Chains A and B, each alone.
Chain A
Amino acid sequence: MFESIWVVLDMHFLGFLKATGMTLRLTAVSLALAVVIGLVFAFLKLSRNPIGNLLANAYIGVVRGTPLIVLLMFLYFGISEIVVLSSFWAGSLALAIHAGAYVAEIFRGTIQSIDHGQHEAARSLGMSRRLSMRLIILPQAFRRAIPPLGNQFIIGLKDSSLVAFLGVSELYSRAMTAAAANFRPFETYLVAGLYYLVLVLIFTWLVNQLELRLTPDRRAAA
């Protein structure tokens, strides 16, 4: 069996690597969009505007209440009705809409977790509501958001495999094609799994580095 893993690796190493590039592009684009969407909806949910609240709750509720694959297909075909998009962009958009809901909840949670005294201290110094948000609350909320965001990003990386069903030739799609052709599905998916695993490990390390870099106070105290 180990020999056949080598055979599969030998056959597909470069092909999988190329497909990994596509997986990374999908992940990067969808998560960058998800952060923007997440921020907007976090603010809507925190705002005192009832229509904003309703909108945010509806969006988050729908996304949380439906399986990703259903949402993906629905959005893919829905989006294709309105505009002509490549499967890459349709897939990225759908993944972003999905992850955005979770990112919104992460930001809402961390913004709310900042002690109200921080805001009051900022206001007492003459800062406007907006300035206090920008200089005092958000920087602290972002730092607190890094661990759960990192977690969500790992989920997003793995979720990107579902876009294979839209015909994007990323890692999982490549593995499916390869397995069908080489009649060694077990080894092929094992190798694909290893690729994902290595990506996740690298990513976890990066998130930890980022967290350290962004918390100089904790570094100094340690």
Chain B
Amino acid sequence: MNVIETRNLHKHFGDLHVLKGVDIAVAEGEVVVIIGPSGSGKSTLLRCLNFLEMPDEGSEVLLDGEVIDPARDNLDKVREKMGMVFQHFHLFPHKNVIDNITIAPENVKGVPRKQAKATARELLEKVGLPDKEKAWPSQLSGGQKQRVAIARALAMDPEIMLFDEVTSALDPELVAEVLQVVQDLAAAGMTMVMVTHEMGFAREVADRVIMMDDGIIIEQATPDRFFGSPAEERTRTFLGQVLHA
């Protein structure tokens, strides 16, 4: 079954038509990578999936096969089921690492503190930061911050993870440690949609690669086909630009 699906997804910002009818479907356990030029609507697409942005009237977003109706459904509950990781981490600077991870489970789901902490410690282990639970975000490197942010999202036990250029703000030498965590998650069967410019990673980890430009999906294929013999001219041009940069 599809964990998440969109049908005829449109999004305007005022007069600006950013998403022009996007249909995607992500199956359970699938890793979908979205690439495309800056400004093509990749972030907006991710943000419409968890309703951080409200899709235009007439668009449909389905979670576990059910159409989400913003007027009727509790969107907070919908967002609980989708973890999101941002380019700029957005850790909570007034909370230490472990509290960054426990604050949502405790306050949103009512998980008892002890249990929330135990889960947080397991997650910190998983992202390779078992000794950082008492650290403050301001004391961490970018790569460490992003790994805490991933742990924080995972703590809500989401059905799907959304990654928006999670390595773009990192120093080059810190990219690998974050990608490794994402790759481990993929290997563990997590369903995910990831916007990235890391083509090597896309080729290695993705089940499917989607090319977006100007608010529409240009083409989508398995990594082998996508990178080996892209069908569309725009994809070839884009790949030419990023691969030779």
Contact = CB atoms under 8 A, between A and B. Distances in A.
A143 interface: yes
Contact of A220 (B84, B139, B152, B156): B139
Nearest to A126: B80
Given A115-B90, A124-B82, 9 more contacts: A117-B86, A121-B90, A125-B156, A126-B79, A126-B108, A131-B108, A140-B92, A217-B94, A221-B139
B153 interface: yes
A206 interface: no
B104 A118 contact: no
A75 to B, nearest CB: 37
A127 interface: yes
Interface string A65-96: 00000000000000000000000000000000
Given A124-B79, A125-B108, A139 B139 contact: no
A120 B52 CA distance: 7
A217 B138 contact: yes
A128 B108 CA distance: 8
Contacts of A207: none
A66 B112 CA distance: 52
Interface of A: 115, 117-118, 120-128, 131, 135-136, 139-140, 143, 216-218, 220-221
B92 A123 contact: no
Interface string B70-100: 0000001101101110101011111010000
A217 B107 CA distance: 22
Nearest to A117: B90
B103 interface: yes
B136 interface: yes
